[in-house]
Amino acid sequence: MSTQLEKATFAGGCFWCMVEPFDERPGIESIVSGYTGGHTENPTYMQVVTETTGHREAVQITFDPAIFPYERLVELFWQQIDPTDAGGQFADRGHSYTTAIYYHSENQRQVAEKSKKELASSGKFKDPIVTEILPAETFYTAEDKHQDYYKKNRFHYKRYKKGSGRADFIKDRWSYEKDPDELKQRLTDIQYKVTQENATERPFQNEFHDHEEDGIYVDIVSGEPLFSSKDKYDAGCGWPSFTKPIEKQQVKEEVDRSHGMFRTEIRSDRADSHLGHVFEDGPKDRGGLRYCINSAALKFIPKEEMEERGYGYLTYLFQ
């Protein structure tokens, strides 16, 4: 692990919505909501939103680049915003809600500029990318009630994110595009039935239930990294079992009332693949959870191949 932490500053509209996507990921030390880019010292929330200070709402992230590279932070940032909107973000209008990347070093500037050019040429957006890339300025911490808002006011946060149009925009623009016919050709019959039709493979008669090699397990559909061999253990149930995902944002939970039972289903976040279920009978000293996952939903990437296959940023898991 690196001992040299760095800061990253992003303005992505309402800062309430810019904490959860980055929070509690490996290598993320802290996330602070605040104001930057203006001409008034120690501005208040009310001053900023009345557009009298020149500041933008922003978040400042302290991170370990050896674990969570700046490139990934920038990639995640794009996936939270509409970078073509020069007048604000979604329902929030005005300069204080416009988007910007504030760089803290020449390397960050180069990464941000390169990423912006790649996004512009990707064809994902028809209109020009207007997000500014600017040198970091003084960052003023926002009032306590605005810190970790998504945790303190969960219901209102979800309602606001949905009502503002941000949640639907993100889903529409960044969800994995699945072609059923292409998937049927690419996946085996059991892989398709498990990931797309919520089937369950047979216990003990599957590829990874007793697999012990070092590496990571990714979504068979999208390649999204999901679990590490470091968190795998033998639960005796006949399916691969893990104590946690690599990052909590990579999976999502759904209520499952099928087969006369009440369970918590686990799906991949990006491709919405059915993976399995999570139970509260895992090892107590490792969090108490058991992620019981179908082998058919997974593809294994050996530790030695992670770098060449695009997962080099996760090699810290085995250091």
Q: From the candidates 111, 136, 292, 306, which is the catalytic residue?
A: 292
**pLDDT score of 139:** 99
The domains of the chain are located at 6-174, 180-318
pLDDT digits (tens, 9 = 90+) for 160-179: 999 999 999 999 998 888 88
Residue 99: other Cβ atoms inside 10 A: 25
Helical H segments across 148-295, by residue range: 149-152, 154-163, 166-174, 180-186, 189-197
In this chain, the answer to whether the domains covering 6-174 and 180-318 adopt an identical fold is no
Q: d(Cα 68, Cα 27) in Å, to the nearest integer?
A: 5
Topology of domain 6-174, CATH: Peptide Methionine Sulfoxide Reductase; Chain A (3.30.1060)
Q: What pLDDT sits at residue 3?
A: 62
> Above 60 in pLDDT, residue 233?
yes
- Mapped onto helix, strand or coil, the DSSP state of residue 57 is strand
Q: Is 292 a catalytic residue?
A: yes
Q: What is the mean pLDDT of residues 57-74?
A: 97
Q: Which residue has the higher pLDDT, 175 or 303?
A: 303
Q: Is 17 a catalytic residue?
A: no
Catalytic-labelled residue, pool 9, 12, 13, 14 = 14
Report whether CATH 3.30.1370.10 matches the domain 180-318: no
Distance CA(209)–CA(203), nearest Å, equals 8
User: What was the pLDDT predicted at 259?
Assistant: 85
On whether the CB atoms of residues 221 and 187 are closer than 8 A, the answer is yes
E-only strand ranges, 192-243: 215-219, 225-228, 232-233, 241-242
Structure tokens at 7: 């800061």
pLDDT for 1:
45
Instruction: For residue 157, count other CB atoms closer than 10 A to its CB.
Output: 18
Q: How many CB atoms lie within 10 A of CB 248?
A: 13
Query: ∠ CA(16), CA(30), CA(284), 5° rounding?
Result: 100
